[in-house]
Homo-oligomer: A and B are copies of this chain.
Amino acid sequence: MRIGELAQRTGVTTRALRFYEDQGLLAARRSANGYREYDEDDLQLVKEIQTLQTVGLTLEETRPFVECLRSGHETGDACASSIEVYRRKLEEADALLARLGGIRAELAVKLAGALARQAPDPCVVPESPRP
């Protein structure tokens, strides 16, 4: 298939596919007229890249998976280097979760404080003068 069809079937833009090629992640054969020609393996490869991106891997980090697939393995994560990336990303995710949790808490505190100053002490309401 050509680049347009691959784009359509994966939901990745043609621009992105050419970019992947630039980065050495995707290798296309060329037909006589210079058009890129892809096969089903390429389709799988692009899908793998997509999946990995959705779980937060950068393009660079998908490289081990791509090379693993290219070297004949059935899945991209059959190789040690890919598994290592999984481990790293898990750690990163945990670290980020921790930081973000702290930030969320700080934000909540700040918001509460601002609201409290805005409408001072809605719990211990200052007595309104009774007529």
Contact = CB atoms under 8 A, between A and B. Distances in A.
Contact of A93 (B54, B56, B77, B107): B107
Contacts of A56: 103, 107
Interface of A: 54-56, 75, 77-78, 82-83, 86-87, 89-90, 93-94, 96-97, 100-101, 103-104, 106-108, 110-111, 113-115, 117-118
The 10 closest A-B pairs by CB, nearest first: A77-B114, A86-B111, A93-B104, A55-B106, A90-B107, A55-B103, A56-B103, A83-B114, A55-B107, A89-B107
Number of identical monomers bound together in the oligomeric complex = 2
A97 to B, nearest CB: 6
A68 B75 CA distance: 55
